[in-house]
Every structure is written in C-alpha cells, then in structure tokens.
Amino acid sequence: MWDVENHDVVIPLKLRAAFVEAVGTEWGYAFGLLTDMALTMPQLIKNDWRYGKGVKLEGNPLDISTFKAAYVNPSGVPWTSIFAKYAGVFYFVDAATRLGLIDGSEDSIDSLLRGTDRWSFCCAGDNILVMGEDGLGERLADAMPYCKVGGTESFLGMVAVKTATGTVHFQTNPVSYIVNFFAPGRSITDAQRGDWAVGWQARQAAYTSFPELARLKELTNSVFRQHFGETLDSLSARYAGRQDQVYTDYIDARVQMDPDRLQWQYTPEEVDPALVQQYFLTIKPGMYNSMYEGLIKTKE
C-alpha cells in the first residue's frame, strides 16, 4: 500500500494537459475548457512550503488571463478526486511498463488494470493498493520517477490482515476508530464537522468488519466512564436523540461520519437519498448554462 507524498502538487503538468484534452474529446470543447479553468483558477495558498508565512492569493478571480495556477490539482473543484485517480493509474501503468511487466500496448494496459492471478491494483488518488508477489510494490514504487511514494499500513481506512491459510482480507482500522473520534482533523467548532454524538453511534456500524469491535467499544466506554462518570454510549444517546437520524447501514454510516466520502469513495446512488440531500445541494443540469457560456466567451 502506497501513499504518494504531496500528490496534488507533484502531478506533472503534461498529465494535466492530457487529462483536459481527454475531457474535451469525450464531452466537447466547452466542457474541456471549463475543466481547464477549474484546474488553473486563482488559488488561495499557504506559503509555509515556500518558507513564508500566512496565505497568498495568486491571480485574480475576476481576470481570466490570470487563470494560470500551476499547483496541478486544486481542492474544491468537481474534478479533484477523478484527476487524482487518473494520475495514480498513470503512475502504475508507467512503472509497470518500465519494469517490463507489460509492453505498453493498449491490450497489455487493459490486462494490467483488470488484474491477473499474479497482481491486482486499486487506485484512490494518493492512496494506491498493489497486490502481488513479495516485493512487487517496492519495485514498482522505485520505478516511479514522478513522485515519492511511502509505505502505509492502511488503504481508505482499511488494514490488510493475513490469515493462517495465507489469504488476505481487509478490515476497518481499529486505530482510526479511536484516533479519528477523539482527535479529529476538524475542530469541534468547524461547521463542516458532524454532530459528535451521531458520529459515535454511526461508527458502530461503520467499523463492523473489525472482529474485535465489541471489545474495543467496551474498553473505550470503560476508560471514558473512569474520567467522566458515564459511558460514551449513554452520553451520546442523550444528545443524538435530539439531533440527526443515526444510520446503521455500513455505507450510510461512513458517509454520515465523513460526508466528503461522497466526493471520492461512494456514489449518491449507494447512499440514502435523505442523507445526500442533508449534506449536499443538488444542482440540476442547465441551471447555470448562461453563466458558463459567458465564461467560455470571455476565455476565448
């Protein structure tokens, strides 16, 4: 399992140009142009990676001529997740070609991505999973000149477990069960952070593939009671009852804990419609055609 360091920044600009061209070929010139604008629009960036402080707005959102951002894959645009996967697939195919696993032809690439009895591959942007003979992942990572790849113990919140018979299966990461609840990435005052009580109850459905979940929950409640006089179960039940519905379906529960999963892991069709509507506004096609047409004419 790999984690590509600074993935959104290190993607080659030529690869972005190829992606934009492919979008234009598939859906038309106007859509390709909009994609290019989305990926090159002025961006508010942190300067710490340049040994500076604060943030800086590069470009002018009201001036199309300044749409020249070279940070490759910005956050907050519809293509962010898809383009990241596009790049990850390119890295894998290129490395496999360099190692001689395939000859680079269209048929060999198709065979590689579909998987064989020797290897299989799954890409989620900066997280890449390669399954095959011992050492294959390390050899492929060393053959990637475009990025620095580091090993990781989890893939999309799942960890690989090898059984006594030699087979490998994936289960939810018990470390994430604790750390992501008590030390989440978003602050308790962040408007995008879901209700904590709902999150605690929903994660009981989201982590069911971990075989010792009941024991882990029991230990967590025990420690919590020692410090606060009651269990997390009882405390969350009192608060969650006044908040949103708690979903018990595996996918619904994971989305309820982290709505951003709808952007990169699940499709709206896999999630309860009410949950989708709760977190995301639905924009119907055609609502903003006049605005898009104006932007296209300005760009031209």
Question: What does the pLDDT read at residue 96?
Answer: 84
Backbone angles phi, psi at 132, to 5 degrees: 180, -160
Question: What does the pLDDT read at residue 280?
Answer: 63
What is the pTM (predicted TM-score) of this model? 0.59
Does 181 fall in a domain? yes
Choose one of 152, 184, 205: the last residue of a domain.
Answer: 152
- Is the same domain home to 81 and 25? yes
Q: What is the mean pLDDT of residues 41-53?
A: 61
- Is the same domain home to 184 and 267? yes
Six token digits for residue 161: 């477990």
Which position has the higher pLDDT, 274 or 224? 224
pLDDT above 90 (res 21)? yes
Does 44 fall in a domain? yes
pLDDT (tens digit per residue) in 89-111:
888 888 888 888 888 888 888 88
Q: How many structural domains are present in the chain?
A: 2
Does 158 fall in a domain? no
pLDDT above 70 (res 281)? no
Question: What does the pLDDT read at residue 48?
Answer: 47
Separation between Cα atoms, residue 93 and residue 108, nearest integer Å: 10
Which DSSP letter does residue 233 get? H
* Residue 230 domain boundaries: 174-279
Does 287 fall in a domain? no
CA 161 vs CA 22, 30, 121, 205: distances in Å: 38, 47, 17, 20
Separation between Cα atoms, residue 299 and residue 272, nearest integer Å: 39
- Is the same domain home to 19 and 105? yes
Which position has the higher pLDDT, 118 or 38? 38
pLDDT (tens digit per residue) in 152-192:
666 667 777 777 777 777 788 888 888 888 887 766 666 55
Coarse DSSP helix, strand, coil percentages of the chain, rounded to the nearest 5 percent? 50, 10, 40
* 30 touches 38 (CB < 8 A): no
- Is the same domain home to 180 and 252? yes
* 124 touches 7 (CB < 8 A): no
- Is the same domain home to 227 and 260? yes
* 209 touches 174 (CB < 8 A): no
